[in-house]
Structure 1
Amino acid sequence: MITITPVSSKKELGAFIDFPHDLYKGDPNYVPELFIAQRDLLTKHPFVKHNPLQCFLAYRDGKIVGRIAAILNNHHNEFNKVNEGFFGFFDAINDQQVADELFKTATTWLQDQKVDSIIGPVNFSTNEPSGLLVYGFDSPPVVMMTYNAPYYIDLMENAGFKKKIDLIAYKFGDEGYNERSYKMLDVLQERLKRSDIIIRPINLKKFKQEADALREVYNSAWDSNTGFVPLTDEEFDYLAKDLKLIIDPAFCKVAEHEGKIVGFSITVPNINEILIKIKRGRLLPTGIFKLLLGKSKVKGIRIFALGVIEGYRKRGIEAVLYGDVIREYKKRGLKYAEAGWILENNDLMNKALIDINGDPYKTYRLYEKAI
């Protein structure tokens, strides 16, 4: 018999966070999330202060066999003029009955919130880790990307969920950027300069001012993307504070026209190379040393966010921002870079990445279902 229990105590929250560690024990591609980071995400993130959220655990014979969170994102519904609910933090053993009971519970909770469809997996909004991995199971995820076993696809689709949209991640290796691409990058940069558009590193000494400007660009550059919802000031500050701990200005560039920031790219080291070695996501007693000592040994990066505001697109700014990052990582002798994710219908960005030899090596999917 399967029992679904709402998470209501610190002990249950701990079990909710820890369940994937047991589920994926022995999986060489599984990366444990830091326990403290997941706890804060579910209890202290600005999102949870203003939006209903309920986590659930599935038990069979006293043992946890699955988890899910039902999420109502009020800002998403207001901005997109829709009436949708989300599910996130979904994990389960390979058992359709367990998955069905979890989806049924999340759906019932969302029905009580008066929504008419359920979308996921989304951990709050598309500004956070989103999507079910459906292609590219042969390597670990990079930082702030999701991971799941292949059988999740069947669990989802057998429960009646249909594809909403795919999210594409591109990879660049040692061979990914050639001499011709470098020459094209130089030509594009000169063309931008003639239009008084410069590409410069982010200024960490004026990080608060830079972050305020970047928030405006972020909320403008992605506003037409499927499922996008602008970050509130508090949410953006929460994200920026975390990113500031790991970003390198040489990998974080802004495009500026006559003193106005019109685009930016933020690239972060793939600290998942370290986290994959931290047992059960615990920093103590030894995890903190692995994290601190391992940062300098990371071999890859993720282009976490890149966008250009309307009116400045199709001028080559996107290609220059991507190219600058790739040139820098190759100069440093790093082994790979991931750019993503990119919506499958974002033709401009997908073309820019393919033009500089990006390999679409992973695909994530958002599913939906009417309720």
Structure 2
Amino acid sequence: MELILVDNAQKAAEFLAVHIRLNKDVPGWIRPLDKDIEAVFDPEKNKAFRHGECARWIMKDKQGNLTGRVAAFVNKKYTNKGDKVKVGGMGFFDCIDQQEAANLLFDTAKKWLQERGMEAMDGPINFGERNNWWGLLTEGYHEPLYGMNFNPPYYVRLFETYGFRLFFNQICYDMHIYGELADKFYTRHAAVSQDPDYSARHIRKNQLEKFAQDFSIIYNKAWAQHAGGKEMSKGQALSLFNQMKPLMDEKVAWFAYYKDEPIAMWLNLPDLNQYIKHMNGKMNLWGKLIFLWMKLTKQCHKIVGIIFGIVPEFQGKGVDAYIILEGAKVIQRKSMPYNQYEMQWIGDFNPRMLNVATSLGAEPSRILTTYRCMFDPNVPVERHPILK
């Protein structure tokens, strides 16, 4: 096997081609958009380059056939609660079903990271935000959500045989849109609704700046502590909203307020992969026409839970039931095209959010796993600590 550093456009194209070659016949696989993968490795588009660097390789056999790929990255902003060592990342892994070949890919990433002072590597993860390309699919080998990793089952063996160990599981839940919620939701919703200072409203595309401000306030209070202390500015939130705007359905993204101050958010989007699976990886003119036609004819029947958060001072007061039922009044209307709801992954270290999912009556739909490999084999992997 030969490993080749990706350092020009032709090799970058082969980096994309490896994934297609090794996954095209795997049931459930949806080809990602080329531009989404390319953006990860473009310093002009990926802000992670401001705080780190990455390298990637392709692997070929003696006949010149593509047999694997891997990327490695160092990001000074990448931290997890409880980390005691310097941790790098590896991802975008693909490999034929051969341990020796996989070991070569892993060793290459490890060596590159060690040269930069890292003592462990997590993978497969993204060089950037955690909502995309994060974790190895270990259960639930059906159509992935947009931006979600997908791989054949044998990848689990390749990782674990090399020495990767469970750092945390990422659990997705799904449910039918028209399913009945537990009685306690209605009881708590009724109690909160009696106070006229509470209100809920869905997002409006013509007021994105206002909702971006609300998003950043809630995120920084409820979530920044779980993202290595990384806060989000109003400008960053507005940029995120503008990216989502073409796909956004106003009626499935909700905010709750107390005396007009933002206290909770429940943001959902139509599953973009329901469109992408018809595009063969290309968001060209034909791909855009497919997207517009499917959107106009309401061909997407699945929405995805992107983020759910309540500011600490309003947690445990029934606000979760309030915002969910206020949103459900609209989302469950027969005029809406959706019949299935799946939540983006929840870390197994987050019991509060796991409880929200199960109390909704949702069932686990798939599990992805973030693995960690310690470079010193005498140092055990410690699981991600449970959030209090």
TM-score of the superposed pair, with normalisation by structure 1: 0.90
Match of 1:71 in 2: 73
Contact 2:202 2:255 in 1 (8 A): yes
The AA in structure 1 aligned to 2:218 is: V
Residue 370 to residue 364, structure 1, CA distance change in 2 (3 Å): same
Match of 1:36 in 2: 35
Describe how 1:319-330 pairs up with structure 2 within 5 A. 319-330=321-332
Is 1:13 aligned to 2:17, yes or no?
no
Describe how 1:159-174 pairs up with structure 2 within 5 A. 159-174=162-177
- CA deviations on 1:9-67 (whole Å, 9 max, x unpaired) are 11211221232122112333111111123222321222234321111111112121111
- 1:110 corresponds to which of 97, 108, 113: 113
Pairwise CA distance, 1:216: 3.7
Match of 2:247 in 1: 246
- CA deviations on 1:304-349 (whole Å, 9 max, x unpaired) are 1111222221122233334444453332252200012111132222
Contact 1:176 1:356 in 2 (8 A): no
Pairwise CA distance, 1:238: 4.5
Compare 86-95 and 167-176 and name the one that shifted more.
167-176
Is 1:45 aligned to 2:40, yes or no?
no
Compare 256-265 and 269-278 and name the one that shifted more.
256-265
CA RMSD in angstroms comes to: 2.5
Match of 1:351 in 2: 355
Considering fraction of residues, name the structure with more helix. 1
Compare 237-246 and 339-348 and name the one that shifted more.
237-246
Contact 1:132 1:365 in 2 (8 A): yes
Structure 2 gaps, min length 5:
376-388
Compare 238-247 and 356-365 and name the one that shifted more.
238-247
Pairwise CA distance, 1:302: 0.1
The AA in structure 2 aligned to 1:283 is: M
Structure 1 gaps, min length 5:
none
Identity of aligned residues (%): 22
Contact 2:254 2:266 in 1 (8 A): yes
- Paired with 1:18 and 1:236, the residues of 2 have a C-alpha distance of 33
Contact 2:185 2:321 in 1 (8 A): no
Pairwise CA distance, 1:163: 0.2
- Paired with 1:92 and 1:353, the residues of 2 have a C-alpha distance of 34
Residue 59 to residue 131, structure 1, CA distance change in 2 (3 Å): same
- CA deviations on 1:223-270 (whole Å, 9 max, x unpaired) are 343x65626657655533321221122111112223322221211101
- CA deviations on 1:139-184 (whole Å, 9 max, x unpaired) are 2012232211111110110110000011111101256334847734
TM-score of the superposed pair, with normalisation by structure 2: 0.86
- Paired with 2:9 and 2:337, the residues of 1 have a C-alpha distance of 44
Pairwise CA distance, 1:367: 0.4
- Paired with 1:171 and 1:204, the residues of 2 have a C-alpha distance of 27
- Paired with 2:130 and 2:284, the residues of 1 have a C-alpha distance of 31
- Paired with 1:289 and 1:276, the residues of 2 have a C-alpha distance of 14
Paired residues, number: 365
